[in-house]
Every structure is written in C-alpha cells, then in structure tokens.
Chains A and B, each alone.
Chain A
C-alpha cells in the first residue's frame, strides 16, 4: 500500500513538473512578441498586399488597385464606444450609417468560393435585393430547380454558415428585433433524401471539398479542359432562376415552405403580404428578368423608363395601409 502511494505521489509530482515545463516553454514564446513586436492584426493581408504591390509595381491599373485595397481592408471591424454600450460592426469604407452587425462569411457555400458573397450585379433594379437574399439563402435555392432536375420538391433546412452543419431554425426568425430580417448566422438551403435515407444538401461537404480541390489544382488543366469543367460544375444551374413571386405570393403555396422551415406566422404574412408583393409587382413592371443571359443589354425599356420617372411615392403609402 505504501509503495502504491509512493508511486502515485511520484507520478503526480512528475505531471506537475511537466506541466510547469510546458508553461515555461509557452511563456518563452509569449514573451517574444511582447518584447520585440507589436501585434499587427492585418499582417497577413498587409504582407500579401506588399507582395502584390512589388509584383504589380504599386498597382498600376484600377483592377490591381482594387485588389490591393481589398486585401488591406479584409476582415476589418469598426468599434464605437458610447459608454453605456459598445457597437462592434462591420467596417465598410465610406459608410455613414451604423449597421450594428458583422457580416458572417459563409464558409460552406460552394458557389461563393468563386462568385463571392455579393454576386448579383446585372439586373440593376433588383441586384441589391438579390444580394440581400444571398445573405440567408443558399444560391441553389433559386438557381437549382427540382423540376429541371426531374426530382420532387426539395427539402429545405438551415445550415450554420461557419460549420455547414444542419441546425434547427435560428432563433432570429422569431426575435422581434436584433437578428430579425436576415442576420441569422445561418442559411436556408435545399436538399434531398439520399439512397441511404439520410438528408443531404444539394451542395454539401463533399461538393465543397471537390470545388476547393478543383480551385487548388485548376492551373494543371489546359484552357479547353477548364471550359469543360466550367460546364460540368454549372450543369445543375438553371438558366431561369426562381423569380420573386415564387415565394412572395399569397395566391399559391410558396416555393419555400416558410412555416415548415421555422418562420412564425407573423413573418409568413409579412412575406406574402400586400406590402411586399406590391413592391415586387412594382419591380416587375420595371425590369425584364433576363439577367442570366449574356450581358450588355439594357434591362429597362424606354417606355418603362418614362413610366418609372413619375413620382410614385404614393404607392408606398398605399401599400402600408392595412387591408
């Protein structure tokens, strides 16, 4: 018994010494930047910027300058200390209004690896609205339609923007303020039941890993192969995406089953209300939804332009009046 106790004591002492040794080593590493360096939060970006600046010669074209600027600005946040509260928010250069939130990157979107988080630009009248939807809807929600794939309706589920895992409906859907209207740290994406009876997103971890690998190895392909792969990668994308009235309609069942995916009834009424549907109608009159075709054309017909110039502020007043 005494021997066991002695061995145990020796073992604990050894563990204690090893822990202290590990701490001493860590402390040695910790001291170095404290003494010699000043933490630079954007060091990596700055280093990358300097490398590129050396390569491009301080950015001689607008494109190069924009690239360097983006590298310098990435992941910046702004802080406003009001004493009784501190606002931590996304830094947007030249932005006047406080947004009071950070834009969480979607680390699990396959499309955004190339197209970015603000991908819509062609349809000038509605591009901001489309980008707004990209904030909380996976791209394939509108751009990959089940009927085109010859399959039944998709099953919609929420996924965590950071981990990509399926989560229950985010609490923000029911919150009156704060996370309401789009900042859920999650996205709604379509999926289906696979041959094993398990739910899987149309673009899940497997597809993400494939695209990441493709981007890594793309340089090994010749130009023809690149074009071929581009077609393969986009084969499920429909030329005509889901349009606004697919979901924002009170006349038929919305494409996204709002109640089933966790929206409260109040939000369902709002999304299919006269207010939103009326606004969409106004935009429908204003543009031709052909934005997936080749660029260069004017989306607004001359007669529509003249109609649009008429002051239509009254429309909004009417639309907010309860029925």
Chain B
C-alpha cells in the first residue's frame, strides 16, 4: 500500500519497528482518536440525538400532570427543533441531570451553563451567562441593588418566562426582500463553505438577527403573561393593564393586525441599541421611558426621527375605563362611541324601514276614511 506524504511513511516505519500487538493497538487507538477529533471538530457537524431521546419523546401525547398541577408535555417536535440555533447542541447539554434511562423527572435547565459549542469570536465555550447578568441588573432582576432578593422574587422572570425554543426567521435579500432562505444567495456561500450545514446555519442565523425574532403582536403577548395579569399587577402595585392599553393605541392596533414595523413593548422600553434584557424602571434616569428620555426614545432613527419634544406628551397607556384618572380620554371615547352608534344605527334603521315599505307599499297605521279613499282625486 502506498502512503502519500513523507510524514505518513515515517510514522508507518516507526509502527513497523514495534512489536506486532503494540503496533495494532496503537494503530487502532490512532484511528479511533482521529475519528473522534474529526467528528468533534467538523464545523458542519450537527448534534445528533446520540442518546436516542426521541425514541420516546417523538410520541405526541407523552405527558403528565406534575405535582404542582401543571400539564407537562414531553413531546419533542424534531422538525421544529432543527429549525433553530439549538439544533447544534445535544439534549444532554441542557438536561444535564439525566444520567440513566428510564430517567427521573428532569430538573429545571440552567441556561447559564457552558455548552460544548465554541463561541467563534472569543473561542470560549458558549453560554447565556452574559444575558443573565444583564437581566439581573434590569428591572426584571430578582435581586435589588444590595444583592438581596426582592420581595415576591418568585414572580420575576427567568429565561423561559419569555423565551420558548428560538427558531430562525431567515430573510432573503437576493432580489427584493422576502421571508425565507434565498437558495440563489445560499448557493454562493456554499461555493466555498461546503461542509455539512454550515452555510445554511450561518445564513439563517445572521439573517434572523437582522430583524426581530418575534413579530410585535407576539412580543406584546409575551409581556402580557405577567403585565396583563390583574393579580400580578395588584401584587406589584403596577398601574393598570399596560398591555390592554397598548392594544388600544394606534401602534397596538397595527401590531394586532400583523404589522411588523410598528413598535412593540421592547422598542419603547429598551434604550436604543442596548440589549433587550436591560429594561429599566421608568424612575431610573437612564431608562428609555423616563419622562426626560421619552422624546429621545420616540426619535430613534427607525421611528419618529424628526419629531419635536411634544411627542413625549403622547400617552400610550391610557386606561379608558378609569374616568377618574383619564377623564378627558374616557369621556371623549364614550362620546365618539355613541356618536358612531347613532350615525350608523340611524342609517341601518332607515334602510330597514325603506325595505319594509317596499314589501308592504300600502300599509299604514292610519286608517283613511272609506269615502275619501274611494273618491278619485280631482273630483272633490
């Protein structure tokens, strides 16, 4: 057998000089290690389901009611799982406590642990820890400035309170702008980046990050999990249902009907250019919603960039059901509702009566005198 390359030949010579058993052992070990190195370093390698978790978790009704009375669904939709960045990690990277099959109820996943992926900019193992650190300093953090737990700390969000499994939202810019991967654009990447799904993943990841991962309506829905809950508002002394009042605004209605350009909660409550996890209380001087900063927030380059200071006077979270707090808005709304009802119902009734007349052209509640009705006109 010819071995190309000098280094390979010299290695073979060395092996040949060893006793036969050691040589075979070393050769096998080298092959195994080479294989392992190849598998783990191959850039396009996706996390296979090495532990065959979907053997059980592919069944849709795999579920139970847990000790707290919550419905737990253990089904994994593999097709959808492969549509997001987590496709590159293994089940066990997150569910670390599972050591045996059948396994005990899995513990809560800690998103801040390091997984086996290498973060390419720093060549360190990837972790969501920096995000958790930003969140901890925000108004949503469980700890106060002194490092002590806030009151009702269990109410404050953790990762899965807002996030479900992330999915790519790729965009095509090849010709025009549309949702999905451009096969023609991707083919250019794959000219050089041929191994595995590297090009597809990279394309989907980067283009997803060039837009919002969630449409405005979904974002408001996520915030509504807590801020739309009346009991939650009462527990934390929050003023009214801010999500319901958002839906009443022009922005909210556009979002409700599917606009992706209209601002959602994050656009106004996060300082332009900062992490979405860094929302601050409006009392904080650096907050995007602090009265002093509201105009600047509205004037961000993608929104009302040429607006004056008065734009800060726009009240987003008006509770129309609270006439004591918002008398002008509340009574104005009531007036316009009744005005609209009066105009529309006037015409609806008019049309109905007109149709009725056409159905019974001679009907009248007033009975005419018989003689008068029989006398032809002009003979009186």
Interface residues of A (CB under 8 A from B): 14, 17-18, 20-21, 24-25, 27-28, 31, 35-36, 38, 58, 62, 66, 69, 78-84, 87, 90, 92-101, 103, 118, 120-121, 125, 127-129, 131-136, 177, 181-183, 275, 279, 282-283, 286, 308-313, 315-317, 319-320
B73 closest partner in A (C-beta): A92
Pick 23 A–B contacts, CB within 8 A, sort by A.
A17-B355, A25-B352, A28-B352, A31-B344, A82-B168, A84-B170, A92-B72, A94-B161, A98-B80, A128-B63, A129-B59, A129-B62, A131-B63, A135-B60, A181-B58, A279-B55, A283-B102, A308-B102, A312-B100, A313-B51, A313-B100, A313-B101, A319-B52
Are B179's CB and A181's CB within 8 A? no
Are A127's CB and B64's CB within 8 A? yes
B83 closest partner in A (C-beta): A82
Interface residues of B in 72-120 (CB under 8 A from A): 72-77, 79-81, 83, 99-102, 109
Please measure, in the bound complex, the distance between the C-alpha atom of A183 and the C-alpha atom of B76, giving whole angstroms. 13
Please measure, in the bound complex, the distance between the C-alpha atom of A21 and the C-alpha atom of B350, giving whole angstroms. 11
Is B22's beta carbon under 8 Å from chain A? no
Q: Determine which of A80, A90, A128, A177 lies in contact with B74 in the assembled complex, contact meaning CB atoms within 8 Å.
A: A128
Are B61's CB and A135's CB within 8 A? yes
A32 closest partner in B (C-beta): B341
Please measure, in the bound complex, the distance between the C-alpha atom of A79 and the C-alpha atom of B71, giving whole angstroms. 19
Are B179's CB and A84's CB within 8 A? yes
A134 closest partner in B (C-beta): B61
Please measure, in the bound complex, the distance between the C-alpha atom of A127 and the C-alpha atom of B102, giving whole angstroms. 12
Interface residues of B in 31-55 (CB under 8 A from A): 51-52, 55
Q: Determine which of B56, B64, B79, B345 lies in contact with A31 in the assembled complex, contact meaning CB atoms within 8 Å.
A: B345
Q: Determine which of B164, B341, B355 lies in contact with A24 in the assembled complex, contact meaning CB atoms within 8 Å.
A: B355
Are A181's CB and B59's CB within 8 A? yes
Are A24's CB and B358's CB within 8 A? no
Interface residues of B (CB under 8 A from A): 51-52, 55-56, 58-65, 68-77, 79-81, 83, 99-102, 109, 160-161, 163-165, 167-171, 179-180, 214-215, 218, 231, 247, 337, 340-341, 344-345, 348, 351-352, 355-356, 358-359
Are A286's CB and B59's CB within 8 A? no
Please measure, in the bound complex, the distance between the C-alpha atom of A18 and the C-alpha atom of B80, giving whole angstroms. 52
Q: Determine which of B51, B64, B73 lies in contact with A120 in the assembled complex, contact meaning CB atoms within 8 Å.
A: B64
Are A99's CB and B52's CB within 8 A? no
Tell me whether A31 and B61 are in contact in the complex, defined as CB-CB below 8 angstroms, given that A99-B77, A279-B55 are known contacts.
no
Please measure, in the bound complex, the distance between the C-alpha atom of A279 and the C-alpha atom of B61, giving whole angstroms. 18
Are A282's CB and B102's CB within 8 A? yes
Are A309's CB and B100's CB within 8 A? yes
Are A118's CB and B215's CB within 8 A? no
Quote the shortest CB–CB distance from B178 to chain A (angstroms). 8
Tell me whether A17 and B77 are in contact in the complex, defined as CB-CB below 8 angstroms, given that A83-B171, A317-B52 are known contacts.
no
B215 closest partner in A (C-beta): A81
Are B101's CB and A100's CB within 8 A? no
Most chain A beta carbons < 10 A, residue from B63, B69, B72, B74: B63
Are B100's CB and A310's CB within 8 A? yes
Are B341's CB and A35's CB within 8 A? yes
Are A99's CB and B61's CB within 8 A? no
Are B344's CB and A182's CB within 8 A? no
Please measure, in the bound complex, the distance between the C-alpha atom of A177 and the C-alpha atom of B80, giving whole angstroms. 12
List of 7 A-B pairs having minimum Cβ-Cβ separation, nearest first: A135-B61, A83-B179, A84-B180, A182-B60, A132-B61, A66-B69, A84-B179
Most chain A beta carbons < 10 A, residue from B51, B75, B169, B359: B75
Q: Determine which of B59, B70, B71 lies in contact with A182 in the assembled complex, contact meaning CB atoms within 8 Å.
A: B59
Q: A128-B62, A282-B101, A283-B102 known; 4 other A-B pairs, CB under 8 Å?
A: A28-B348, A31-B344, A66-B69, A96-B164
Are A311's CB and B344's CB within 8 A? no
